[in-house]
Amino acid sequence: MAKETGTLEVRRLGCVSYNDALLLQQQFVKARRAGEVPDLLLLLQHPHVLTLGAGARHNRGNIVADSAALRAKGIEVVEVGRGGDVTYHGPGQLVGYPIVDLRPDRCDVRRYMRDLEEVMIRTAGTFGVTAERVSGLTGVWVGNAKLGAIGVPGAGAADKALPGPIAIPGTYQVRLTVGETTHLKKFELFQDPKETSVS
């Protein structure tokens, strides 16, 4: 039975592999669309993983380590359904996956993303951290360092990964990364082409 509208249920899941988290999201998106669960926010961390967006599928030039070095350090590499290049997730990062129905009054995805940025800015403020937006970019920064990122799967990828298109008014799955936006330079495995933190 569906829970009341306007409810956001937070589930703290601990450390979950990227692929297991994707399966959970798929299950929850289906349940949300069927009205079996309220809007959800899944909070978790991933073990060390590099996710490859559309920009890295055919050119992995920004991963400077070979497969053997990645395996030796326990870093998984996963192709994902989003734009962009290489993204690192790992212990120390808080990743949030909101699974929400934006109908009837929140169907503007760009506004929704700005609202998510605002939530991250206000949350940082409660910890005494002054975060802000950077014009023309998505996410939240503290000075020149990226504190939080937002990623939305492309419509084509969402069709494959989730039960029905995700980039339509209705139920959305978004990735929020807050906390340590880690450069893999410390592992000497990755170079960021923009010389900003990995989102």
| CA neighbours closer than 13 Å in the CB half-sphere of residue 86 | 27
- How would DSSP label each residue in 51-75? EE-GGGSS--TTB-S-HHHHHHTT-
Answer whether residue 37 shows pLDDT above 50.
yes
Q: What is the DSSP letter of 2?
A: P
pTM for this entry? 0.76
Q: Do 58 and 137 meet the contact criterion of CB atoms below 8 Å apart?
A: no
113: nearest Cα among 87, 89, 139: 139
Structure tokens at 101: 């129905």
Q: What does the block give as tokens for 102?
A: 């934006």
Neighbour tally for 106: CB within 10 Å: 14
Q: Averaged over 139-154, what is the pLDDT?
A: 80
Span 169-196, pLDDT tens digits: 233 344 555 554 444 444 556 555 444 3
Band (pLDDT 50/70/90 cuts) for residue 19 is very high
Q: Largest alpha-carbon pair distance within the chain?
A: 50
Tell me how far apart the terminal alpha carbons of the chain are, to the nearest angstrom.
Answer: 37
The identity of residue 93, as a single letter, is: Q
pLDDT digits (tens, 9 = 90+) for 49-97: 988 877 777 777 778 888 898 899 899 988 887 777 788 888 888 888 8
